[in-house]
Amino acid sequence: MFRSHRFLSLMLSAALLFQAVPARAEEEKTSETGFFLDTVITITLYGDKDSTAMDGCFALLDQYEQMLSRTVEGSDVWNINHSNGEPTEVSEETAWLIETALYYSELSDGAFDITITPLVELWDVQNKASLVTGDETAEEAYASGLIPSEEEIETALLHIDYTAVSCEGTTVTLSDPEAEIDLGGIAKGYIADCLEDYLLSQGIESALINLGGNVQTVGTKPDGSSWKIGIQKPFGGSSDIITVVECTGESVVTSGTYERYFEIDGTIYHHILDPNTGYPADNGLVSVTILADSSTVCDALSTTCFVLGLEDGMELIESIDSVEALFITEDEVMYRTSGFPEN
């Protein structure tokens, strides 16, 4: 069954990045797909007899989209971005998420930066991916605006600086009135954590939450064995798995170029942007997968490490306890941190 209040047609076209294979208790399994926060969402539950938990999950997804989406008028993020530098009151959850995002900005010296919005809008990767025919030359792509000009990038960069965001309690202020925030690099992780908490509170002990590449496992499979989460081969199909990670309650989150991109003349322009250069991060990586208990941590760090690149990303993850990473390079070589499972 599919649930969404928009973009129903995208359900079939978007490939799910991860797979998991339930072992038994098929009769108790329910699975539903929807489209929230520009992402195909699939929730699989075991033991949700009267669908209360499933309904609750989709109600929460709707609630968080209304709170955290940059494009939903009246959301906390929309209000901040339209505040003209005036203090904005937000929910405790939004405030916490912004503070957490700022922590990862500090940690990465700005590689992760929620004031990325002017660049997100300029590159507009998701929209352009549907406009590009594949026949454009680079010259034509510059002329038509598919690839932004140096001047446009320089102008956007003027307003990208996470230190312009301050959060006091539930009051958020942008010291640069032209700055705008985007929680796309961390919100899905937070929502996955909230869904896990909700499901556990409902007595669901076995579930799989897939928010377009953000996978949160709840408990174990119904037979008590671990979930096996497949990590997609870059640019492969959703069933083309490069490795498998076993989980019992952890989260596995991937940031990859192949998730959202367009290609001009053999060059890939993707959605993970480098706040230093203004261009899609271009460091030889195609994906970074993070394994940790918290999906918020996974989400923030997958984007962060993608921008940092293999060497600095590896060093960062090795410095954090209970977080592991898998980096995949353009030539499909896999680099694991010391605790990332081999198989």
- Contact with ligand AMP (CB under 6 A): which of 80, 273, 316, 323? 273
Residue 316's binding partner among Mg ion, ligand AMP, none (Cβ under 5 to 8 angstroms by kind) is none
Closer to ligand AMP by CB, 22 or 280: give it: 280
- Contact with ligand AMP (CB under 6 A): which of 229, 301, 307, 323? 307
Site mask, ligand AMP, residues 43-82, x = CB under 6 A? ----------------------------------------
Amino acid at 91: S
Site mask, ligand AMP, residues 90-129, x = CB under 6 A? ----------------------xxx-x---x---------
Query: CA separation (Å) from 180 to 49, 122, 166, 272?
Result: 43, 13, 12, 17
Report which DSSP code applies to 259.
Answer: G
Map the footprint of Mg ion across residues 148-207, applying CB under 5 A: 185
Residue nearest to ligand AMP (CB): 184
Residue 242: name the closest of 253, 254, 233, 229 by CA. Answer: 233
Total residues in contact with ligand AMP, by rule CB under 6 A: 17
On the CB side of 123, how many CA atoms lie within 13 Å of its CA? 26
- Tell me: does residue 257 bind Mg ion (CB under 5 A): no
As measured in angstroms, the least distance from the Cβ of 192 to Mg ion is: 11
Helix (H, G, I), strand (E, B) or coil at 203: coil
Q: Where are the beta strands (DSSP E) in the chain?
A: 2-4, 29-36, 39-46, 88-89, 165-168, 171-174, 206-211, 214-219, 227-232, 241-247, 251-256, 261-264, 267-270, 285-292, 324-329, 334-336
Site mask, ligand AMP, residues 213-242, x = CB under 6 A? ------------------------------
Closer to ligand AMP by CB, 112 or 327: give it: 112
Closer to ligand AMP by CB, 206 or 304: give it: 304
State the SS3 of 73-116: CCCHHHHHHCCCCCCEECCHHHHHHHHHHHHHHHHCCCCCCHHH
Map the footprint of Mg ion across residues 280-339, applying CB under 5 A: 299, 302-303
Report which DSSP code applies to 280.
Answer: B
- Tell me: does residue 326 bind ligand AMP (CB under 6 A): no
Residue 275's binding partner among ligand AMP, Mg ion, none (Cβ under 5 to 8 angstroms by kind) is ligand AMP
As measured in angstroms, the least distance from the Cβ of 227 to ligand AMP is: 21
Which two structure tokens, joined as six digits, stand for 84?
A: 């003209």
Residue 283: name the closest of 304, 259, 252 by CA. Answer: 304
- Contact with ligand AMP (CB under 6 A): which of 219, 275, 309, 313? 275
Diameter over CA atoms, the chain: 59
Closer to Mg ion by CB, 53 or 298: give it: 298
Map the footprint of ligand AMP across residues 284-303, applying CB under 6 A: 299, 302-303
Closer to ligand AMP by CB, 35 or 112: give it: 112
Cα angle, residue 334 at apex, residues 193 and 186 outer, rounded to 5° = 25
Closer to ligand AMP by CB, 184 or 219: give it: 184
Query: CA separation (Å) from 136 to 127, 140, 235, 260?
Result: 16, 6, 21, 18
Residue 264: name the closest of 131, 91, 87 by CA. Answer: 131
Q: Which residues bind ligand AMP (CB under 6 A)?
A: 112-114, 116, 120, 182, 184-185, 255, 271-273, 275, 299, 302-303, 307
Q: Which residues bind Mg ion (CB under 5 A)?
A: 185, 299, 302-303
